[in-house]
Each structure stands twice: as C-alpha cells, then as structure tokens.
Amino acid sequence: MHRFVIRAALAAVAALALGGAALAAGSPDKGKAAFIKHGCFQCHGTVGQGSVVTSLGKVLYDTELPLEAFIAFVRGTNRAMPPYSDKILSDADLTDIHAYLTSLPKPADYKTIPLLNQP
C-alpha cells in the first residue's frame, strides 16, 4: 500500500508536469464498457473489488486519484500492472473508466452483512 501511494503521488506529479490539460467529464456507462472490453476487470473485478492474486489486493472502487494522475499512472505503470499506451486506451477511454470507478457506490460496512459476521 505504501509503495502504491508513492507511485500514485509520482503519477500526480507527472500529470502536473505534463500540463494537466482539462479533460471532459467521462461517461460511467462507456467507462464500464471500456473497463470490460480492455480487460481491466480480469485483474480488478467488474466493480473494482480486486484480488489478492491478480491485483495484489488493490481495490479500485474508491480510487482517490484525480483523473490526470489516474491517466498518468495507467500510462506509466511498470510493475505488476502493464502500462496501457494511448494506442490501446485513449485519454477519452480512461476518462470514462475513471468516471465509472468513481461512480461505484461505497460498499456496505461488513458489519451490516450477516454472512460476514458468522462465527
């Protein structure tokens, strides 16, 4: 987690260095379609729930990365997650995906789910 925060911060800095041109608001519906079509869900799950195996436990539903930093991260990541260039995912696609992820409802507190409170 600590390493991810550092990388996210670096991505944010990179985004600012690039000028951070204003991006249009994304479409959550289009973002969901792109999230599925381009295989993001394979590691992150369809609602960004992640997996200890495929996303090393990272969840996306509550991403706090601003859009520019998000795009910079996806373009520049070079560790477990492979980078996506603009030939694969355009800025518009990533804007939509970001809109989708930030539109996801906050999950219920586990304490309110009876099945998660069994002995």
Partner 1 sequence: MARRTSNPQTSQQTSQQSSFGAQSKVSRRKFLASAAVAGAAAGAASAAQAATAPDPIAPARPPSATRPSAMVAAAEVGNPNALPAAAKNGAAGSDFMVDVIKSLDIKYLPCNPASSFRAIHESLINYGGNKQPEFLTCTHEEAAVAMCHGYFKIAGKPLMTLVHGTVGLQHATMAIYNAWCDRVPVIVLGGTDLDAAHRPPGVPTIHSAIDINALVRDFTKWDDQPTSLQHFAQSMVRAYRFAMTPPYEPVAIALDAELQESAIRAEGEKLYIPRYIASGPPAGDPNAVREAARLLANAERPVIVADRAARTANGMKLLVELAELLQAPVVDQGGRMNFPNTHHLRRAPTVIRQADVVLGLELTDFWATVNGQIDNGENDGHGIQESRIKPGAKLISINSVELHTKANYQDFQRFQVVDVGMAADAEATLPSLIEAVRAAIPNDRKAGIEKRGEASRKAKEEARTRTLQVAAIGWDATPISTARLCMEIWPHIKDLDWSMVGSERQMSSWPSRLWKMEKHYSHIGGPGGYGVGYNSPAAVGAALANRDLGRFSLNLQTDGDMMYVPGVLWTAARHQIPMLTVMHNNRGYHQETMHVQRMSNRRDRVAYNGKDLGALGTRIENPDIDYAALAKSMGWWSAGPITDPKDVGPIIKKAVEVVKSGQPALVDTVTQPR
Residues 51-90 contacting partner 1, CB under 8 A: 51-54, 57, 59, 61, 78-80, 82-85, 87-88
And the tokens for 40?
């993001």
Burial 42-56 (b: 16+ CB within 10 A, else e): ebbbebbebeeeebe
Helix and strand numbers (H, E) in the chain are: 5, 0
Q: How far is the CB of 16 from partner 1 (least distance, A)?
A: 25
> Residue 28 CB, nearest distance to partner 1 (Å)?
15
Shortest distance (Å) from residue 35 CB to partner 1:
11
Contact 48, 104 (CB under 8 A): yes
Q: Binding to partner 1 by residue 115, rule CB under 8 A?
A: yes
Residues with Cβ within 8 Å of 13's Cβ and at least 6 positions away in sequence, in order, are none
Residue 103 touches partner 1, criterion: CB under 8 A: no
For binding to partner 1 (CB under 8 A), which residues are involved? Answer: 36-39, 41-43, 45-54, 57, 59, 61, 78-80, 82-85, 87-88, 107-110, 113, 115-116, 118-119
